[in-house]
Structure 1
Amino acid sequence: MRIRATVAAVSGALALSALAVPAAQADVHASGGDSTYRAAVAKFLGNGGKSAFVTSPVDGDLPYELNVSFSNFKVAKSINVGAGGHVVVPVTYTLTHGTEVNIKASDFMSGPILYTGADDEDLESLNALQGEKPATCTAASTTVANCKANIDIYPAEGDLTNANAGAVWTAGAFAIALNGQDLSGDTIDPSKIGIKSQRDLGTTTVRRLSKLTVNATPEPVRKNATITVTGKLTRANWDGPNYTGYATQPVQLQFRKNGASAYTVVKTIKTTASGDLKTTVKATVDGFFRYVFAGTATTVGSSAAADFIDVK
């Protein structure tokens, strides 16, 4: 589902304005992931990080700022997503923490976030992607850990919309130390819980996958006769979800002589309003025709599986 997050509203020196992880995605895929992690994300970083504490025995109590920071965030420069399925995006980052922070505790959790749709002057809402499970953090020293995690994307369940394609997605990370507080209990003491989030750790783009088809007819064909090469260019429609025609896009028709190793460009044509392709060429020798789409800022390029023409 498409998810939104509000900026954390907290008092005093604790300013979790860096990120507020949406509660929505934490609850979507209940069949997988880590239930404690999902609950923690939903309870503490969703709803602005404040309304989660309505059952607190002390009115107005808020978590303290956890002594951690994040660096060396690494994610693919471009994430290519189709119309369905489950896309897993590996992420690594470094977590630096105070000696008082026990990252080996069973209720310590950290995770990455990708977000878009907001800037420093408009943080009322974010579109965000996160993982189903917390990161695995391995201690490199007493104060530094190397973390590995995944961002999980389900395009058919509304995690993305077409408006998100090609946008700059910014990386962030967060950590939660529950310090023994039971999220399933009727009351919790938020003041004993540590939270820290950090934004602007890197950037990536998320693009729509495309598909191309080709069909050269008739076959077999007489030498120097005219053949018609049809095809269709479609791309993932995250608002569907399905694949729909990509209109008015330049596509190359390429040919490879039978026995040769390289293709040559025959001509470039544009798709129709429905993504269809159609052109004619002369058949001179046996070989393979294919259509090739270079891609755009929002959509990944693709090549059609080659179609063989037998020239008699």
Structure 2
Amino acid sequence: MRMRATLGVVTGALALSALAVPAAQADEVEGDTTISNVVVNGGKAAVVGSTAKKTITVSFTVKDSSGVDWAQAILYHGANIDSSDSGAVANSSDGRASCTRVSATTSNCKSSFDLRPGYNLINSVAGGWKVWAIAAGKDADYVQKDNAKSFNVQRLSKLTVNASPEPVKKGKTITVTGKLTRANWDRGTYNGYSTQPVKLQFRKKSSSTYTTVKTIKTSTTGDLKTTVKATQDGYFRYSFAGTSTTPAVSAAGDFVDVK
């Protein structure tokens, strides 16, 4: 079992603390130890705002015929953990996962991670992340996975809408404005998300379903503006489908009274 004293995952935002782990060149297996059922943040993307930290968990199952000795997981962004450009460290004092014995050969393990804007989160690392994981049996068998699970870390999005004038005469023009913004982890603010397709949708007063009227793109500052004809009472909203770096979001409907 190849060992090293430190894991050199270094970026401008974060350097991982010293951990005694095997060299992370590629997946390795020695003996019958297995890692399975890896779940990150309950199976959902980790969506983080502009300033507040978000704590997420990684859970997984470890099996070994001799019993499970210990396990560990690390989150990272990049081609592999040795060349990653960001990471997060488990909250436990020694970096190891907390494992609960299920049987003589099986344990369920869990680690917690803090994602912090401006520290281990910068704008350039939004999108796909990976879980590096290792587990060892009591007989010194072990398994190491460079990508035990992939998941997304996203910049929280916000979307507004305003339809005017209200009330409005039937057949007259309604102007619908709004803005799509997302968390800027570098600055701790929210900034416009430019040139993104956004749907203008309408819901009749008597209905619970929105239908798409048209699709427009945000400006370079994230602003939205378009016009429609007033036909009947109802709610207008903008709806954004999301990207790998930014989650989907819909504005609350703005009611227009048509006279």
TM range (shorter): 0.7 to 0.9
User: Percent of aligned pairs with the same residue?
Assistant: 46
Question: Residue 183 of structure 1 aligns with which residue?
Answer: none
Q: Which moved more, 1:133-142 or 1:203-212?
A: 133-142
- How far the C-alpha of 1:144 sits from its partner, in A, is 2.7
Is 1:94–2:61 an aligned residue pair?
yes
**Kept after mapping to 2: 8 A contact 1:209/1:300:** yes
Is 1:20–2:7 an aligned residue pair?
yes
Is 1:273–2:250 an aligned residue pair?
no
- How far the C-alpha of 1:119 sits from its partner, in A, is 3.5
**Kept after mapping to 1: 8 A contact 2:34/2:135:** no
Instruction: Choose 1 or 2 for highest CA Rg.
Output: 1
RMSD value over aligned CA atoms? 3.5
- How far the C-alpha of 1:67 sits from its partner, in A, is 9.3
Question: Residue 164 of structure 1 aligns with which residue?
Answer: 125
Q: Which amino acid aligns with 1:82?
A: G
Cα deviation, 1:166-213, whole Å, max 9, x if unaligned, reads 23x22123569xxxxxxxxxxxxxxxxxx9964321211222221110
Is 1:233–2:180 an aligned residue pair?
yes
Alignment CA distance shift 1:91-1:301 (3 Å): same
**Kept after mapping to 1: 8 A contact 2:161/2:177:** yes
Q: Which moved more, 1:265-274 or 1:200-209?
A: 200-209
Question: Residue 46 of structure 2 aligns with which residue?
Answer: 79
- How far the C-alpha of 1:269 sits from its partner, in A, is 1.0
Is the partner of 2:127 in helix, strand or coil? Answer: coil
Question: Residue 27 of structure 2 aligns with which residue?
Answer: none
**Kept after mapping to 2: 8 A contact 1:21/1:45:** no
**Kept after mapping to 2: 8 A contact 1:230/1:278:** yes
- How far the C-alpha of 1:154 sits from its partner, in A, is 1.8
Question: Residue 113 of structure 2 aligns with which residue?
Answer: 151
Cα deviation, 1:85-104, whole Å, max 9, x if unaligned, reads 23222221123458597x5x
- Mapped to 2, the partners of 1:287 and 1:305 lie a distance apart of 13
Is the partner of 1:151 in helix, strand or coil? Answer: strand
Q: Which amino acid aligns with 2:47?
A: N
- Mapped to 2, the partners of 1:299 and 1:152 lie a distance apart of 19
- How far the C-alpha of 1:216 sits from its partner, in A, is 0.7
Question: Residue 216 of structure 1 aligns with which residue?
Answer: 163
Higher strand proportion (structure 1 or 2): 2
- How far the C-alpha of 1:238 sits from its partner, in A, is 1.5
- Mapped to 1, the partners of 2:218 and 2:85 lie a distance apart of 35
Q: Which amino acid aligns with 2:132?
A: G
- Mapped to 1, the partners of 2:157 and 2:237 lie a distance apart of 15
State the TM-score, normalized to the length of structure 2: 0.78
Question: Residue 236 of structure 2 aligns with which residue?
Answer: 289
Cα deviation, 1:15-43, whole Å, max 9, x if unaligned, reads 459x927599xx99xxxxxxxxxxxx834
Cα deviation, 1:55-91, whole Å, max 9, x if unaligned, reads xxxxxxxxxxx99955012223632222232322222
- Mapped to 2, the partners of 1:295 and 1:159 lie a distance apart of 23
Question: Residue 253 of structure 1 aligns with which residue?
Answer: 200
Is 1:140–2:87 an aligned residue pair?
no
Higher helix proportion (structure 1 or 2): 1
- Matching of residues 167-178 of structure 1 within 5 Å: 167=128, 169-174=129-134
5+ residue gaps, structure 1: 1-12, 29-40, 49-65, 104-108, 177-194
Q: Which moved more, 1:234-243 or 1:130-139?
A: 130-139
- How far the C-alpha of 1:244 sits from its partner, in A, is 0.6
- Mapped to 1, the partners of 2:246 and 2:231 lie a distance apart of 34
State the TM-score, normalized to the length of structure 1: 0.66
Question: Residue 87 of structure 2 aligns with which residue?
Answer: 128
- Mapped to 2, the partners of 1:126 and 1:15 lie a distance apart of 22
Is the partner of 2:151 in helix, strand or coil? Answer: strand
Alignment CA distance shift 1:125-1:200 (3 Å): closer
**Kept after mapping to 2: 8 A contact 1:23/1:45:** no
Is the partner of 2:19 in helix, strand or coil? Answer: helix
Q: Which amino acid aligns with 2:234?
A: G
